[in-house]
């Protein structure tokens, strides 16, 4: 069973929760915008459903509601940011803005982040570059839930990559994807709906294929993009590893199996190799390569031609970003569906802070 809520309602409720956690007005407004943008774009696993997780991390003193986010190293085109254990929803926009400032000055900007937390959907941060005629990139490492190809040990996170590229008349190209076959949040949704997972998403603790969405609770693992070696899981493994290295090894965050878990009831690794979670952001000024208007005209041609490619029967050819953009338009007009289990979570959060949901 689903309940329908307006974007405004979910945004206001989330804002109030972050205020009660001790965030400033400015930070609470930004964090709520970033978080609920996931629900608006149809990525329900990373939106309001995550709110109770942030609250529990804050209660466990693993999130600092008043962080001193600062640059700890920089060159004209690069920087490392220390998030001071703040909400990733706040730390990430700071770092992306810094990357864009550097790109504005010297053509490109690259920022790696340590000592942060879960930052919402990667696409939100990459898309911030679009209005400045820049190409945006965002990625993050995450809780170790993913077994490398031929491994039974969980070593990597779902480690998403997002790239946003501006166009002129056409909607922007926005690719935002996990480097696993499916994100853990999708398993959580299946658990709440009491449904099975498709084969190729997860394996059991011995490395056998499984369709049990609860498999991670008994030692199983998510699978890299591709699912198995025959379908290219080694490529997904490589993509996830690249994200981990750029986000964490480069910044001084925890990497691989040392990355802190999102759930508060799991302990931190006893022998940390860095600080918090890591992110990586890039901004490239289009006119550092060619005139922006000329490039965006060519992007229109690229997008139009790919969208017009001959489809298979009963389907239409999509451009990365189309489904999320269409979903955002629909949900702004018709509201956002929230499943009963998440509504229950929100009611418990509301009771904790004496709010209404």
d(C-alpha 87, C-alpha 67), whole Å: 8
d(C-alpha 126, C-alpha 321), whole Å: 12
- Give residue-wise pLDDT tens across range 136-169: 999 999 999 999 999 999 999 999 999 999 999 9
Looking up tokens 């930052």 gives 119
pLDDT at 151: 97
pLDDT at 1: 78
pLDDT at 263: 86
For the chain, give every residue range classified as CATH 3.30.1370.60. 2-181+223-288
CATH 3.90.1580.10 assigned to 182-222: no
H or E segment at 79?
strand 78-82
Q: Encode the chain (357 residues) as per-residue pLDDT tens digits.
A: 789 999 999 999 999 999 999 999 999 999 999 999 999 999 998 999 999 999 999 999 999 999 999 999 999 999 999 999 999 999 999 999 999 999 999 999 999 999 999 999 999 999 999 999 999 999 999 999 999 999 999 999 999 999 999 999 999 999 999 999 987 878 888 888 889 999 999 999 999 999 999 999 999 999 999 999 999 999 999 999 999 999 999 999 999 999 999 988 889 999 999 999 999 999 999 999 999 999 999 999 999 999 999 999 999 999 999 999 999 999 999 999 999 989 999 999 999 999 999
d(C-alpha 92, C-alpha 33), whole Å: 13
pLDDT at 31: 98
Fold for 2-181+223-288, please state it: Ribosomal Protein S8; Chain: A, domain 1 (3.30.1370)
Q: Are 206 and 162 in contact (CB under 8 A)?
A: no
d(C-alpha 231, C-alpha 251), whole Å: 32
For the chain, give every residue range classified as CATH 3.30.60.50. 182-222
| Short-list 142, 152, 159, CA closest to 238 | 159
pLDDT at 91: 98
């Amino acid at each position: 069973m689903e309940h329908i809520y307006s974007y405004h309602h979910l945004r206001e409720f989330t804002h109030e929760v972050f205020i009660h956690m001790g965030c400033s007005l400015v930070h609470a407004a930004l964090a709520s915008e970033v978080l609920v943008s996931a629900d608006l774009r149809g990525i329900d696993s990373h939106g309001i459903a995550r709110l109770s997780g942030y609250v529990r991390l804050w209660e466990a003193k693993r999130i600092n509601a008043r962080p001193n986010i600062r640059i700890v190293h920089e060159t004209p085109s690069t920087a490392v940011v220390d998030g001071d254990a703040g909400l990733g929803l706040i730390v990430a926009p700071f770092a992306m803005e810094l990357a864009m400032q550097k790109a504005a000055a010297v053509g490109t900007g690259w920022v790696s982040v340590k000592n942060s937390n879960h930052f919402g959907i990667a696409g939100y941060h990459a898309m911030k570059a679009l209005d400045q005629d820049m190409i945006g990139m965002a990625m993050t490492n995450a809780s170790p839930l993913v077994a490398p190809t031929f491994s039974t040990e969980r070593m990597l996170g779902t480690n998403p990559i997002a790239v946003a590229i501006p166009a002129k008349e056409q909607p922007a190209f926005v690719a935002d994807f996990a480097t696993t076959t499916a994100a853990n949040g999708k398993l959580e949704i299946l658990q709440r709906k009491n449904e099975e997972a498709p084969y190729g998403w997860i394996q059991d603790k011995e490395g056998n294929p499984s369709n049990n969405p609860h498999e991670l609770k008994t030692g199983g693992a998510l699978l890299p993009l591709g699912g198995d070696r025959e379908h290219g899981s080694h490529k997904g493994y490589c993509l996830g590893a690249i994200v981990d290295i750029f986000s964490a090894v480069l910044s001084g965050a925890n990497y691989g199996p040392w990355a802190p878990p999102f759930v508060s009831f799991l302990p931190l690794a006893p022998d940390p190799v860095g600080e918090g979670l890591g992110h990586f952001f890039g901004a490239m000024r289009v006119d550092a390569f060619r005139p922006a208007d000329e490039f965006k005209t060519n992007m229109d041609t690229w997008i139009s031609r790919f969208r017009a490619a001959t489809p298979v029967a009963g389907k239409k050819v999509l451009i990365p970003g189309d489904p999320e953009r269409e979903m955002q338009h629909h949900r702004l007009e018709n509201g956002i569906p929230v499943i009963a289990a998440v509504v229950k979570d929100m009611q418990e959060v509301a009771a904790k802070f004496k709010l209404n949901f």
